[in-house]
Structure 1
Amino acid sequence: MTDPRALRPAERLDEFLSLVGQVARKPDADLRVIAEWLPRELGAEAAIVNGVLRTVELSTAGFSERVLDHLEPMLTRLANGRVASAAMDVGTAQVRLEAVGAELPRRVLVLVSPTPLTRQAAALASRTGGIIAVLHRARETDRVIRSYQQKAHQLRVGVIMALQAGDPLLARRMTTGSVPELLDCDRLRVHILRCAKDDRERIAQAYQDPSGYHGDGLMVGCPVYDEHLVCLIADRDGSGAEATDGLAAVLRDLVADNPRYALGISSAHPLPATAEAYGQARHALAVASNTPSRVAGYRGQEPLERLLPRAEAIEWAGSVLSPLTGLPELTNEITRLAMHFHRSGVARMMNVSRNTVTAHLGRAQAALGLDLRDVRCRATLALALGVAALHREVGHAPAQADPPALEELLHTRPAAEWGRTFLEPLRDARYHPVHRTLRTWIDTNADAQQAARRLGCSRTTVAAHLRTAERRLTRDLLSSGSGVHDLVHALHLSGDTPL
């Protein structure tokens, strides 16, 4: 390697600027490569020292920290801004100290050389120390920005979780001083963009405003599914038509430009019904993933719980859920979430371990007397929880000695019509194999391998039939519990499977 001191000034400057450029371009690059330039250039070892704590933040390989024991009280005076520079003898070494940076307490550049530095060398060292201080401060700024982005993300997740729980007022309280526009609207739509995990934060940041929100929408990476970007967008029009501008248009354009993306869109819902809108968007996304445009709006029916006779449904749901009233609130919330998400996803949402989720579900299962590993039991519990979410009176009315059975609620004309309409897209003879696969899949507790054995086909065939069913029924069957629960009830109402 050529000795830097043999280079011409322009060449030496080019070498130094090249080092600075390398460090500036790479946030994780080691600043030591710049510090090591000093001993090569000046024949002096160097360090950047916190003058208050007397700790070395950056140093060249040959720098000895023992020299710091001889530099007090000068280090403190430099750090406090009382002195700009100083020169000292420590044994046979020549030590030069210079305060760098503008903020107090200032860092101190310490140079140790066998002979005193020339004025030119001292000036060069000073400028190098200043550049290192600037790069260090830039790193600190980057860390602050990343921390801000993380906090903004956490706040957005909190707002969405509050809306999912049906509590817009809590969401407003969480955003005191900077309430997002979304919370001032009456209705919203949920859009779920399926994209690469690494793209989610980039997209959310690209359209983020200075307040940390997204105009009249909110974008946040789903805490359960790594490839989902959840977007809540205000429905300002009120006409029932999907928006064609703003964030809605941005999301459609992203799908059009990237063949790996897909977009599911809910219908418009009041803010307290965000959870229902989210479920619709997940069903729509399953459909979008199997269509050429890769964009789909929800075209399904009303949820079954809305069609059940009100008084009887409230009484039935209260009798099913009453064993949960004596359990901790966390157990109830985990149980509710487990009806819609896999256990690992629930653990991530609640910031607990998967084993903790399993323990809470075991407690709920014992209290309810239901086998929550069985898809039909989960469908029954999910329907009761849906009724409770729809009617706040559940659990508050006096318990009846002989509450109605679920069979009584389902044997009504609206429920029967719901079941018939649900399965209507599979009535065509072309889809009879798909219909048969669905019956067998539910009979085998939604186990594709067991269903394939019973049907005498491959697991791939079962999966293909399930994807076809998703598209035809506009339901997510492979990742969403609610779609499977609806299928259980529809097959029972059609007489295909027992409940």
Structure 2
Amino acid sequence: MCTELDGSRPLGRPPSRFRSERGEAAIAMTRLAAGPDPVPAILDRLARRSAAAALIGVDGTLLTVCPGRNPLDRRVLADAARVVPELHGRGTPAAVRGGAGTPTVHLVSLGDGAPDDRAGCDPDEGTEPAPWLAVVDPADPVPGDLLADAARLLGLCWRLERSESARRRVAAGDVRSREAVLHLLMVGDVAPARRIAAALRPHLPDLLRVCVVEYASRRRGEAAGQVARALGGRAWVVPCPVRSRHLIALVPAPDRAGPPDAREADALGRLVTGRVPGTRVGVSEPVPLHRTAAGYEQAFHALAVARNGPDGHCRFDRATELRVLLGADGQEWARTLLAPCLSYRPARRIDPDGPELLATLGSWLAFDGAAHRHLRIHRNTLAARLAVLRDRLDLDLSRVSDQSVAWLAMHLLGPAATPADGPDSASPHPPGADLGESGGAGRDQRAGTARVDVPGGDDTRWVGLDRLLAAPALRLWARGQVAPLATGPTGATPVGLATVRAWLRAEARLPDTAAALGVSVSAVRKRLGRAEQALGRSLLRGPSARHELWLAVRILDAATGGDPVGGPAGSPGA
């Protein structure tokens, strides 16, 4: 016969009634275990039938306390917590303390005694044993079997919560690792990107298409999973670190000779939009792995067209690249312009070096004020780096004209923008020192990046840049860039080109553009939206085609002898 000594059933209670109460209590706790926050919910239910219920760590720390029906002296739980380390060390599964006029405390371990296989793998979670359940002055009293049931259920819920927390941590770590790989690819560091990606799946392809996916309302994790499944698990799908509703997918492209197959890109866009409704997709042309940044820019421009297109997807249409038209002369000009950064070594190791400054410059040209999110740095750190770039390159990076000059140099040099490529990389100047008059003069003569005084006035002009852009092939390129905008009536000024020209003169500021044109800001925004569709390029969001348009308009102005749209700070068109 069971007695109060073994705690299995109180004296005088019929077995059938006891089994019924235990079953009802177990069912009630099981329902709580299936709901939200099961551990606090079960503790609260136990606390209603006692003075208090708590979880105590194996080191004697009070983790959670739920007060019960009567006020509780905290010293009771503190005394119970002091004995838990000793009980855990001896391997005792349960104990009862108190009695003889003092509150009774039932202690039950939530662990099953089995060794933790995660120990040594996860320093935060794997070595932490399950805590202990403490119930003070249970009513009726609460039968020992019921406490054992509650302890087993609490232990299961506790382990599930820890496992879910670990899963979320692993998922967040995977996303951060993929973002790190994407960042390295965007700045052209392919080797470290491959090393990091070797531990992840799938492998990075040598030739890929970049897809920028814009989704409407679903959560980012859900959208990323749907896009990954739509692409058959063969693509890298990374949440965009800058735009919260964008995903970037790196999709392997067939490695074959000949021009890229447009049908393949269209099929890729249809696949994503068909499997994941409500999305818009921009697809780049096939690019090698080290040109992932160029592929992203292409896909972003295609997305600007797909946003208002009937199909919801669009592929990038290649135009003749400036890199090909300018050739070796353009690369030499770019190296000379960026030489102060290519050869830059900071005086302090903690300061950004040349490659970091160029990565910051590329991010600023692509994302403007959102560059700090792309680089994962503070706004003040970004401002400090831009100040260094301004001093090193003699460029005002807040102006569209100077941004366009820097964009052209970065575009021409591409992934080759490393310290070894700088013509002054072997310069005897000390780290962090600016080039003196002799060093600056050589740079001015070769590339014309410094301003040359015009006799009879204070005007200055970047002779080297205009000489570089004066090639006949560049005029054809410039006409091709603005041709989609030149669709006005015969003899009239095309509205699209006039709006874009005014927008560039106003430093891409919508209020100033509206004031110059005598229209509202919303009208300017609508006109520029139509210009995006005509050009097949993004204008209002970065990466923006404003740098290419500035160069194209300046080339045409120089060819016709008109008033230039703008120039570097201090030039006639500024």
User: How does the TM-score come out when normalised to structure 2?
Assistant: 0.76
Amino acid at match of 2:372: A
Matches within 5 A, 1:320-469: 320-324=337-341, 325-326=343-344, 328-329=352-353, 330-343=356-369, 345-389=370-414, 394-396=421-423, 402-404=445-447, 405-429=464-488, 432-469=494-531
Which SS does the other structure have where 2:367 is aligned? coil
Alignment equivalent of 2:169, drawn from 127, 147, 160 = 147
Please tell me the residue identity of whatever aligns with 1:32.
Answer: P
Cα displacement (A) at 1:452: 1.1
Residue number in structure 1 paired with 2:249: 231
> Alpha-carbon deviation of 1:243?
3.9
Aligned match of 1:55 in 56, 61, 71? 61
Aligned to 1:251: 272
Alignment correspondent of 2:96? 87
Deviations 1:100-133 (A, max 9, x none): 2225644222222177846xx2111211122112
What SS is found at the alignment partner of 2:366?
Answer: coil
Preserved CA contact (<8 Å) 2:242 2:373: yes
Distance in 1, Cα, partners of 2:517 & 2:25: 76
Shift of 1:292: 1.9
CA gap of 1:428–1:248, structure 2 versus 1, over 3 A, is closer
Aligned twin of 1:200: 220
Give the C-alpha shift of residue 235 in structure 1. 0.5
2:13 aligns with none
**Aligned equivalent of 2:31, options 18, 22, 25:** 18
Between 1:349-358 and 1:146-155, the stretch displaced more is: 349-358
- Shift of residue 332, structure 1, vs aligned partner: 3.2
Q: Any gaps of 5 or more consecutive residues in structure 2?
A: 1-16, 116-128, 347-351, 426-441, 448-463, 558-563, 568-574
Are 1:216 and 2:261 matched, yes or no? no
Separation of aligned partners in 1, 2:412 and 2:300: 20
Aligned AA (2:160): A
The Cα shift of 1:284 comes to: 0.6
> Corresponding residue for 1:497?
565
Q: Distance in 1 between matches of 2:444 and 2:383?
A: 32
Displacement of 1:341 in angstroms is: 1.0
Change (3 A) 1:309 1:168: closer
The question of whether the paired residues in 1 share the 8 Å contact of 2:60 and 2:81 is answered with no
Name the SS of the counterpart of 2:551 in structure 1.
Answer: helix
- Name the amino acid aligned to 2:137: S
Aligned-residue offset at 1:270:
0.7
- In structure 2, the residue matched to 1:190 is 210
Q: Structure 1 residue 494: deviation in Å? A: 2.1
Instruction: Using the TM superposition, give the Cα deviation of residue 472 of structure 1 relative to its aligned residue in structure 2, in angstroms.
Output: 1.1
Alignment partners' CA distance in 1, 2:155 and 2:178: 34
Change (3 A) 1:451 1:74: closer
- Please give the per-residue CA displacement for 1:320-350, whole angstroms capped at 9, x wherever unaligned: 222333364233321222111122x211122
SS at match of 1:36: helix
Match of 2:197 in 1: 175
Distance 1:377 1:70 in 2: 71
SS at match of 1:192: strand
| Cα pair 2:269 2:282 within 8 Å, conserved | no
2:39 to 9, 31, 47: 31
1:212-250 CA deviation, whole Å, 9 max, x = no partner?
x97321111111111211111111364723547997655
Counterpart of 1:276 in structure 2 is 294
Quote the Cα distance in structure 2 between the aligned partners of 1:73 and 1:341: 56
CA RMSD of aligned residues (A): 3.1
Query: Given the superposition, is the C-alpha separation of residues 418 and 7 from structure 1 closer, same or farther in structure 2, using an over 3 Å criterion?
Result: farther
Distance 1:137 1:181, change over 3 A: closer
Q: 2:323 aligns with which of 305, 308, 314?
A: 305
- Please state how far the C-alpha of 1:165 moved relative to its aligned partner: 1.9
Q: CA offset at residue 450 of structure 1?
A: 1.1
**Measured at CA, do residues 428 and 134 of structure 1 come closer, stay the same or move farther in structure 2, by a change above 3 Å?**
same
The whole-number CA distance in structure 2 between the counterparts of 1:106 and 1:136 is: 8
Instruction: Please state how far the C-alpha of 1:367 moved relative to its aligned partner.
Output: 2.5
Question: Structure 1's 73 and 462: CA in aligned 2 closer, same or farther, altered over 3 A?
Answer: closer
Per the alignment, do residues 353 and 114 of structure 1 end up closer, same or farther by CA in structure 2, a change over 3 Å counting?
A: closer
Q: Classify the secondary structure of the residue corresponding to 2:223.
A: helix
State which drifts further: 389-398 or 315-324.
389-398
Pairwise CA distance, 1:170: 1.4
Deviates more, 1:149-158 or 1:489-498: 489-498
Following TM superposition, by how much is the alpha carbon of 1:71 offset from its aligned partner in structure 2, in angstroms? 4.1
Asked whether the 8 Å contact 1:165–1:275 carries over to 2, the reply is yes
Mapped to 1, the partners of 2:366 and 2:265 lie a distance apart of: 30
User: Structure 2: how far apart are the matches of 1:451 and 1:374?
Assistant: 15
Q: Give the direction of change, closer, same or farther, for the CA distance of 1:244–1:422 in structure 2 (3 Å limit).
A: closer
Whether 2:498 is the aligned partner of 1:488: answer no
CA–CA distance in structure 1, aligned partners of residues 402 and 288 of structure 2: 30
Q: Secondary structure at the match of 1:428?
A: coil
SS at match of 1:429: coil
Q: 1:110 aligns to what?
A: 134
Q: Deviation at 1:401? A: 6.5
- Partners of 2:281 and 2:226 in 1: CA distance: 18
In the alignment, the residues of structure 2 paired with residue 223 and residue 423 of structure 1 have an alpha-carbon distance, to the nearest angstrom, of 32
CA offset at residue 425 of structure 1?
Answer: 1.4
* Helix, strand or coil at the partner of 1:402: helix
Q: Provide the rounded CA distance (Å) in 2 between the counterparts of 1:414 and 1:66.
A: 87
Q: 1:166 to 1:367 in 2, by over 3 A?
A: closer
TM value normalised by structure 1: 0.86
1:394 shift after superposition: 4.9
More displaced, 189-198 or 416-425? 189-198
Residues 1:133 and 2:162 aligned together: no
8 Å contact kept, 1:341–1:480: yes
| Contact 1:38–1:44 (Cα < 8 Å) also in 2 | no
Residue equivalent to 1:315:
332
Question: Quick one: distance in 1 between partners of 2:251 and 2:90?
Answer: 52
Alpha-carbon distance in structure 1 between the residues aligned to 2:272 and 2:290: 24
Deviating more after overlay: 463-472 vs 166-175? 166-175
Distance in 2 (CA, whole Å) between partners of 1:38 and 1:294 is 55
Take 2:238 and 2:111, find their aligned partners in 1: how far apart are those partners? 37
Do the aligned residues in 2 keep the contact of 1:101 with 1:107 (CA within 8 Å)? yes
> Which letter maps to 2:172?
Q
Percent identical: 26
Superposition deviation, residue 389 in structure 1: 1.4
Structure 1's 77 and 66: CA in aligned 2 closer, same or farther, altered over 3 A? Answer: same
- Rounded to whole Å, the distance in 2 between the matches of 1:293 and 1:205 is 22
